[in-house]
Structure 1
Amino acid sequence: MTHEAPTATVSTDAGIPALPIVSERVSALLAEMTLEEKAAQLVGYWLDRGGEVVAPMQNEMGASQASGALAEITRDGIGHYTRVYGTRPVDPAERAEWLWAEQRRLQRETRLGIPALVHEECLTGLAAWKAATFPTPLAWGASFDPELVARMGALIGGSMRQLGIHQGLAPVLDVVRDPRWGRVDECIGEDPYLVGTVGTAYVRGLQSEGVHATLKHFLGYSASRAGRNHAPVSAGPREVADVFLPPFEMAIRDGGVRSVMNSYAEIDGVPVASDPELLTGVLRGDLGFDGVVVADYFAVAFLEVMHQVAADRGEAAERALKAGIDVELPSGDAYLAPLVERVRSGSLDEGYIDRAVLRVLAQKEQLGLLEADAFEDAPPAHIDLDTPEHRDVARRLAAESLVLLSNDGVLPLAGTATRIAVIGPNADRSAALQGCYSFANHVLAHHPGHELGFEIPTVREAMAQARPDAEIVHVAGCDVEGDDRSGFAAAAAAASNADVAIVVVGDQAGLFGRGTVGEGNDVESLDLPGVQRELVESLVSTGTPVVMVLVTGRPYAIDWALDGVSAPAAVLQAFFPGEAGGTAIAEVITGAANPSGRLPVSLPRSAGAQPYSYLHPVLGGPSDVTSTDPTPLRPFGFGLSYSTFAYEDIEVSGTTTTDGRFTASVLVRNTGDRTAVDVVQLYGRDPVASVTRPVAQLLGYARVELEAGQQRRVRFDVPAARFAFSDRRMVRVVEPGDVEVWAASHSGAAGAATGLEQTTGGAISNERTRTEQILPGSATERATVVLTGDVHAVTASDERFVGVSFE
């Protein structure tokens, strides 16, 4: 059962918090509560934490949960149960039977009879044993397919609902700024609009099944210095407002998300977990969010032990609660006894607790948890968490996300290639296909030898299935990490005796040093880990055509593989493609599928060029006044196909008001000899503005399938608000004047004009970088749209999404 969300108020008067507007039932419940019962609704309890590290500083935090009978722990009730299914491998049906019984016990034995809200991780699928594992969010971004991501979200939400899970801790809407950051594999991309559209689609899909999504991590987490996890953030207010905030705004205003999680970051010295300007003023006041804010695990305690802005847990709790964090997760180490003591002593107004409790109870009401019959039905006796539909969507999304970076014609693989060497540390490992927050890498890594519980063919297995006529030879060659080269000779021998060598290299996802990418696995170098580059180069030297497949959680600096004199014949990028990733890779290699993925992040030239974004102003690009070149190896939006496309005849409506809309259309023609999908990208630029603007900005995008020789006109309906930015007053506006618009196959295909002609004394080069000049791609001439009228201050009613249609 679901209920309409109540309207929240955010204003305060003389330091007394305004209470949200809720139903009579919720108000009556609050009136009955003791202070201890209120506090109990604001905390989680982690039932099966054990000694397995799946959260930062887990073993050092929350010792108060280590002992005590569950009935005693929950004597005053409980807000959340933390990861009932997702901390160790448990049979889903057996665990569901326990959970139903436990919820009934809470109804029966606690004074107010309020069940617990159950939350789980669900970033790459429900993080539970036997559940489907989908591609990682970087792959969602690479697909440029929000509709398919929404379908994936609905499947994940359906699995959660069947198991009695109410809230998922996803999606991550952090905008990528530095690929050295270990959590890049959890992110969707480096463009706020791409992140916002794809992330909102996930929210809509998940919540369509009657469960709640949680936006992570509000705000600025991905801008940590040098890509180090939990490092300080030095972003200015305009970067926060114009880069980090828009995806959250879209998911809140247009996705109707019901929960938000704070960032661990401290921005300019202020920890987000204690910042009322962000968590209340911006989130609730400016964006209109009226749901529940949950703490990232141990974030409240971190105010004391890491940020050191609180002297003890009580002060940490007070700061977090006043800022706007409603629920402490995963435990109640600060929001229970320390918080109650501060209210009892008179140092904290109980109204702050009431404010949070009302939000929590309203959420439970929306989820049907306050109904007397909430758990009358029997728990599922059998549940399939990896149905044929799950597997089909996983395969389709994986295939759409694969990005072909280079190809000298060796792909698709000819049928005459009957001796195939499949080499590399990621060629025959299922763990290599899954992201950091997959159940396998997040939890089963602590249970070596335990079965996965679902089918996940490796690249070697998938190639053998795709080419049963071929002789498949496998040699690992080396590990992902380490300097052991003893397998090089066998790998080179296998390649020498083959018609083609497929070498699968990349990452192992994990947490806090257990792997090469993932939470806490930040890097100083963007070279491939270990000796994998040497392995690839040794195979190329055999003279056998080499296809390099990168299975990674971040983009790496691989200039040697793309532009070097001894580069592989083809390079295919896969961002942790999930349970069907091996199959999708084999389909693309053999030609059963045509690659259509596009880079959701720029492919870096070097670690020293970071942080970098394609959304840079003129001064952020190549220049004659510096000897360094920040230009990426392959730009945002880049990706090859087994076909080619031509863009012609861009048409724009020409004039619109600053608060209006304009249309832009382009004729796209498949100039190749096979059916293919192109991702048409509409870019824009404001050449003269009151603050510096990017040389190119993604306005909208569309996937279009065309048969050989077919052409279609793709029409974009663009709100002028896509050109909005924060002006010198920090007001988000659209300024009148001319703006440039063009259609392109990637952000580096700039059309006839570069936008860099205006120089000062010749100091800035007119020349686009060498990489952008040689890259294949299509672009139209730039068209001009005239924005008329006064400066328009963007409001909540302004459209944020670009409409797409086809003729």
Structure 2
Amino acid sequence: MGQPETGPWNDASLSVDQRVEALLGRMTLEEKVSQLGSHWEMRQEEESQGEVAPMEEAMSSGKLPFAEEILNGEGHLTRTYGTTPVSVAEGAKDLRERQAAIMASNRFGIPAIAHEECLTGYTAYQATVYPTSLAWGATFNPELIQEMAAAIGRDMGATGVHQGLAPVLDVVRDPRWGRVEETIGEDPYVIGTLATAYVRGLQSAGVIATLKHFAGYAASRGARNHAPVHMGRRELLDLIFFPFEMALREGQVGSVMNSYSDLDGEAPAASKWLLTDVLRQEWGFQGTVVADYWSVAFLEKMHRVAADQEEAARLAISAGLDIELPHTGGYRTLAAQVREDRLEEAVLDRSVRRVLTQKVKLGMLEPGWEPEIDEAVDLDSDANRALARRVAQQSLVLLKNNGTLPLDPSAAGRVAVLGPSADDPRTMMGCYSFPNHVLAKYPAGTFPHKGIGVPMPSILDALRERLSHVTHEAGCPIVEYDDANIAGAANAAAEADLAVVTVGDLAGMFGAGTSGEGCDVEDLKLPGAQQELVEAVLATGTPTVLVVISGRPYALGEVADRCAAIVQGFFPGEEGGPALADLLTGAVEPTGRLPIGVPARPGGQPTGYIAAPLGQNSQGVSNLDPTPLYPFGHGLSYSAVHYTDFQLESAELAVDGSVNVSATVHNTGRRPAAEVVQLYFGDRHAQVARPVRQLLSYARVELAPGASKKVTFWVHADRFAFSGVDYTRIVEPGIIDLWIGPSAGDLPLAGEINLVGETRRVNGPRILVTPAHII
């Protein structure tokens, strides 16, 4: 096409808005539409591995070859590094060539935004695999998650990537859902604070973060992937929306992705209420809304709210969905629809303006722009691995301990390390890790390091480094039911002084594992024959440490009383094995806390600890008790921590005021501790049924042996707001109960405060954070 046409849009001395409007005013309809699509180029070896997702071929029926797709430019490039095992140099060559072709094919030389997945680290070959999102929740440490996200962002930015499709802010309502591992847990405040930290970290490296999935995806009927969501609007407004609003207002996130599931029949990809009224008009969002892959096609083929792809595209862009991913389909028809007066050009311009604004801010319209790629970048550097180790260590939760832990390596005796997770490093990673997401499709042994591409010591490897006398039997697989080798594992336990039994999940996609996207379950019994394995080992009488490495909580009520200790890990990543060995042997202190409760029984799942009185144990009205075995926030230390001195600054609080609430925690043991001090509240009486208790804030407190620290929480009345009978957000006068303790089920300190004044409407921006001060 020759030299690109230049103009004010290339002038960095002008404002972003001036540059965007100048360029928008010069573009044809086809050039505008080109900015709202993407291209996903499948290499030959990728296509040979089969579909990325079910119905992919049907959803991709309108896909054009790359050369035709980019004739007037391109908005995005989909996963250049993330869908096949390429080196940085190979991916860089491909990305440079594609960007050059795109720039040469449009009049203005506009490049495309390159996006990748980054939920458990950069989803690229031989990149660091960090703990998955549920493990972030277990750290209760926003500063650490921000540090991790910044490291991920730097690696992505070094390879020419502009946008990451993370974090996931879905609030878990049923742990049988396969994507629980991708969430941060069941509490909106923990999700909001940790997701906001992730957003800040990723965007500090110049990579746009993407909140997903807006909204309600994790509350699907029967916990089935993509199933309809039927919940009251109040639950949506007060529980599901909260973390999204926090990450948007507090984190200034650059992008949001829609949910697949319909909300009471309304498809989010076509919901003006969600994508415009709430996101933009109520919350003031200025970034882009990107489609979850093929969700525009879903409007016709799955939701059936559109007769064809033209109508699907018109519905989506009119609702506020700016960019169609993973490739352009129905959006290609938008230029013709404007010409035929079926779509106002102003609607098209609105979305194009948002895309161009991002590109200007990213410096992509500067003269001479080309991808900045450091081909020498080490995507699994020593610094990354050390950071992954710290996150893994802080994410492991000690659920029970009768004094067996920590193990003394010099006196541990004979240790039988049993179970299918012990020597399979894939069990340390989530479904969006590159080894499980991509490499699992290739024949075993195709890639180095046991086929997973990066060095990943197993639990067995790590324990053998620390303990002198270790034997091993797998006992059974994870995915299939096979109990043939359980007797051998039980014999090994009987001959040992201690048994460490490792059970849990193997993450996969669409039924290829026991956890992950499309890997939903009927109940919360351990997969395969693992329950039988645990029972057989316990029957030997050998003291048993149960280690659960999983993507969701599993019911442990039938075995917990007989275990000497129980440790829960949520896919702790490539350094998970060494981190677990560190915890078991006392090299580090157990500091993780449950971001989601562990159930007692496999059926009758609770909907989470945040429930009104009728959602709690009904004391005989129903024979089913939803009380968890281990509640939200639970986690033990190797030391003893006591709570004293609950203080309220005032007995009354104006409905628009603030108050300080404090307590003192004491480490009375002989080892250091990191206590997660948790502040809960309950609305004693309200015009609608309210949760019995809900987390208001938390603080991670480092305590040396014998040390005490005072934790003071600054609480604004906005934090007590809820949707009233008419769905208006209000702060209502009345008594608020307050509790402080180590978990939702253990709250030794209590008080109450009287909210005074007239009922106050809370419109517009509000206080979303309850900060803590520690002295």
TM-score surpassing 0.5?
yes
1:160 to 150, 156, 159: 156
2:659 to 657, 662, 671: 662
Looking at structure 2, the residues matched to 142 and 801 of structure 1 have their Cα atoms a distance apart, in angstroms, of 19
Counterpart in 1 of 2:3?
Answer: none
The answer on 1:127 being equivalent to 2:93 is no
- Percent identical across equivalent pairs? 51
1:400 to 394, 397, 400: 394
Looking at structure 2, the residues matched to 737 and 568 of structure 1 have their Cα atoms a distance apart, in angstroms, of 45
Counterpart in 2 of 1:372?
Answer: 367
How much has 1:56 moved relative to structure 2?
A: 4.6
- The AA in structure 1 aligned to 2:290 is V
Counterpart in 2 of 1:605?
Answer: 600
How much has 1:376 moved relative to structure 2?
A: 7.2
Give per-residue Cα distances to partners, 1:146-195, cap 9 Å, x unaligned.
11000001001101110110000000000010001001000001111111
The answer on 1:592 being equivalent to 2:579 is no
CA contact under 8 A between 1:55 and 1:297: conserved in structure 2? Answer: no
Structure 1 residues 158, 412: closer, same or farther in 2, change over 3 A?
A: same
Counterpart in 1 of 2:462?
Answer: 462
How much has 1:299 moved relative to structure 2?
A: 0.3
CA contact under 8 A between 1:97 and 1:380: conserved in structure 2? Answer: no
- The AA in structure 2 aligned to 1:477 is G
- The AA in structure 2 aligned to 1:703 is R
Listed as ranges, the matches of 1:415-426 within 5 Å are 415-426=410-421
Counterpart in 2 of 1:766?
Answer: none
Counterpart in 1 of 2:405?
Answer: 411
- The AA in structure 2 aligned to 1:147 is E
CA contact under 8 A between 1:180 and 1:607: conserved in structure 2? Answer: no
- The AA in structure 2 aligned to 1:86 is G
Looking at structure 2, the residues matched to 418 and 709 of structure 1 have their Cα atoms a distance apart, in angstroms, of 31
Listed as ranges, the matches of 1:29-108 within 5 Å are 29-48=23-42, 50=47, 51-65=49-63, 68=65, 70-108=66-104
Looking at structure 2, the residues matched to 334 and 604 of structure 1 have their Cα atoms a distance apart, in angstroms, of 44
1:710 to 694, 707, 710: 707
Looking at structure 2, the residues matched to 607 and 283 of structure 1 have their Cα atoms a distance apart, in angstroms, of 37
The answer on 1:360 being equivalent to 2:349 is no
3-state DSSP class of the match of 2:330? Answer: coil
- The AA in structure 1 aligned to 2:553 is P
Counterpart in 2 of 1:675?
Answer: 672
Structure 1 residues 376, 296: closer, same or farther in 2, change over 3 A?
A: closer
CA contact under 8 A between 2:398 and 2:568: conserved in structure 1? Answer: yes
Looking at structure 1, the residues matched to 229 and 597 of structure 2 have their Cα atoms a distance apart, in angstroms, of 21
Looking at structure 2, the residues matched to 639 and 100 of structure 1 have their Cα atoms a distance apart, in angstroms, of 48
Looking at structure 1, the residues matched to 614 and 742 of structure 2 have their Cα atoms a distance apart, in angstroms, of 24
Counterpart in 2 of 1:761?
Answer: none
CA contact under 8 A between 1:653 and 1:785: conserved in structure 2? Answer: no
Counterpart in 2 of 1:556?
Answer: 554
Counterpart in 2 of 1:769?
Answer: none
The answer on 1:618 being equivalent to 2:586 is no
Give per-residue Cα distances to partners, 1:25-84, cap 9 Å, x unaligned.
21122222222221111111001262543345323321333x63x333311111100000
How much has 1:202 moved relative to structure 2?
A: 0.3
Q: Which moved more, 1:74-83 or 1:714-723?
A: 714-723
CA contact under 8 A between 1:680 and 1:743: conserved in structure 2? Answer: yes
Q: Which moved more, 1:784-793 or 1:513-522?
A: 784-793
Listed as ranges, the matches of 1:189-268 within 5 Å are 189-268=185-264
Counterpart in 1 of 2:479?
Answer: 481
Looking at structure 2, the residues matched to 475 and 187 of structure 1 have their Cα atoms a distance apart, in angstroms, of 32
Looking at structure 1, the residues matched to 454 and 716 of structure 2 have their Cα atoms a distance apart, in angstroms, of 44
Counterpart in 2 of 1:23?
Answer: 17
- The AA in structure 2 aligned to 1:454 is V
Counterpart in 1 of 2:751?
Answer: 783
CA contact under 8 A between 2:418 and 2:501: conserved in structure 1? Answer: yes
3-state DSSP class of the match of 1:389? Answer: helix
Looking at structure 2, the residues matched to 192 and 362 of structure 1 have their Cα atoms a distance apart, in angstroms, of 31
3-state DSSP class of the match of 2:603? Answer: helix
CA contact under 8 A between 1:54 and 1:442: conserved in structure 2? Answer: no
How much has 1:798 moved relative to structure 2?
A: 2.4
Give per-residue Cα distances to partners, 1:266-313, cap 9 Å, x unaligned.
111111111101110011111110100000000000001111011111
CA contact under 8 A between 1:548 and 1:572: conserved in structure 2? Answer: yes
CA contact under 8 A between 2:73 and 2:105: conserved in structure 1? Answer: no
Looking at structure 2, the residues matched to 345 and 481 of structure 1 have their Cα atoms a distance apart, in angstroms, of 54
CA contact under 8 A between 2:159 and 2:375: conserved in structure 1? Answer: no
CA contact under 8 A between 1:510 and 1:519: conserved in structure 2? Answer: yes
Give per-residue Cα distances to partners, 1:91-124, cap 9 Å, x unaligned.
0122113322432333234322110100000000
- The AA in structure 1 aligned to 2:716 is P
Looking at structure 2, the residues matched to 629 and 731 of structure 1 have their Cα atoms a distance apart, in angstroms, of 33
Counterpart in 1 of 2:525?
Answer: 527
The answer on 1:390 being equivalent to 2:388 is no
Give per-residue Cα distances to partners, 1:329-376, cap 9 Å, x unaligned.
00111111x333322322222222111111111111111111123217
Looking at structure 1, the residues matched to 311 and 238 of structure 2 have their Cα atoms a distance apart, in angstroms, of 32
Counterpart in 2 of 1:493?
Answer: 491
Looking at structure 1, the residues matched to 765 and 276 of structure 2 have their Cα atoms a distance apart, in angstroms, of 20
Counterpart in 1 of 2:469?
Answer: 471
Looking at structure 1, the residues matched to 311 and 567 of structure 2 have their Cα atoms a distance apart, in angstroms, of 51
CA contact under 8 A between 1:93 and 1:383: conserved in structure 2? Answer: no
Looking at structure 2, the residues matched to 606 and 620 of structure 1 have their Cα atoms a distance apart, in angstroms, of 17
RMSD: 1.6
Looking at structure 2, the residues matched to 659 and 155 of structure 1 have their Cα atoms a distance apart, in angstroms, of 39
CA contact under 8 A between 1:226 and 1:611: conserved in structure 2? Answer: no
Q: What TM-score, normalized to structure 1?
A: 0.91
- The AA in structure 2 aligned to 1:455 is P
3-state DSSP class of the match of 2:647? Answer: strand
How much has 1:22 moved relative to structure 2?
A: 6.0
3-state DSSP class of the match of 1:784? Answer: strand
Looking at structure 2, the residues matched to 666 and 354 of structure 1 have their Cα atoms a distance apart, in angstroms, of 54
How much has 1:656 moved relative to structure 2?
A: 2.5
Counterpart in 1 of 2:564?
Answer: 569
Listed as ranges, the matches of 1:717-728 within 5 Å are 717-728=714-725
Looking at structure 1, the residues matched to 276 and 358 of structure 2 have their Cα atoms a distance apart, in angstroms, of 18
Give per-residue Cα distances to partners, 1:741-792, cap 9 Å, x unaligned.
1211110124xxxxxxxxxxxxxxxxxxxxxxxxxxxx21x21222222222
Looking at structure 1, the residues matched to 403 and 691 of structure 2 have their Cα atoms a distance apart, in angstroms, of 35
How much has 1:612 moved relative to structure 2?
A: 1.4
How much has 1:643 moved relative to structure 2?
A: 1.1
Looking at structure 1, the residues matched to 602 and 350 of structure 2 have their Cα atoms a distance apart, in angstroms, of 46
The answer on 1:647 being equivalent to 2:615 is no
Looking at structure 2, the residues matched to 52 and 702 of structure 1 have their Cα atoms a distance apart, in angstroms, of 46
Looking at structure 1, the residues matched to 129 and 763 of structure 2 have their Cα atoms a distance apart, in angstroms, of 39
3-state DSSP class of the match of 1:539? Answer: helix
Give per-residue Cα distances to partners, 1:229-262, cap 9 Å, x unaligned.
1111111110010000010100010000000000
3-state DSSP class of the match of 1:586? Answer: helix
CA contact under 8 A between 2:597 and 2:609: conserved in structure 1? Answer: yes
CA contact under 8 A between 1:436 and 1:517: conserved in structure 2? Answer: yes
- For this pair of structures, how many residues does the alignment match? 750
Structure 1 residues 22, 371: closer, same or farther in 2, change over 3 A?
A: closer
- The AA in structure 2 aligned to 1:717 is W
- The AA in structure 1 aligned to 2:709 is R
Q: What TM-score, normalized to structure 2?
A: 0.95
Unaligned 5+ runs, structure 1: 1-5, 7-20, 751-778
Looking at structure 1, the residues matched to 50 and 755 of structure 2 have their Cα atoms a distance apart, in angstroms, of 57
Give per-residue Cα distances to partners, 1:598-646, cap 9 Å, x unaligned.
1111112335323512111111111232221111111111111111111
How much has 1:454 moved relative to structure 2?
A: 2.1
